[in-house]
Amino acid sequence: MKTVAIYILLGVFIVLIAFQLYRLNERVIALRAEERELHERVSTLQANNEKLYKDIEYYANTRNLMKEFLSLFDYKRQGEDLYIIVPGTVREEVSKSAL
């Protein structure tokens, strides 16, 4: 009778350990998926960071900063001419609406 009780306890113990191992394995799978997502996010952020550093380096030069400022707001310096080139489809629409 004692051996049967020992076998039952041993069986229950093995089932409990198997259940815990199953839960642990599920957690490992979830953590690996989260790790992959975080690595992708880090890669994206590193690419953005590199682009920002390049932009900072570019705009650190006052000539580049002035050139971007002028082009952004369509300003011109004294003595310069400003030409705005309009694509053909827009020009045709403007011509038709002017009639």
- pTM recorded for the entire structure: 0.53
The predicted pLDDT at position 52 comes to: 96
The predicted pLDDT at position 80 comes to: 75
Q: Are 49 and 42 contacting, i.e. CB atoms less than 8 angstroms apart? A: no
Q: Are 70 and 76 contacting, i.e. CB atoms less than 8 angstroms apart? A: yes
Which of 99, 96, 98, 73 has its CA nearest to residue 84? 73
pLDDT digits (tens, 9 = 90+) for 25-83: 999 999 999 999 999 999 999 999 999 999 999 999 999 988 888 888 777 777 777 77
Residue type, 50: E
**CA separation for the pair 59, 31 (Å, rounded):** 41
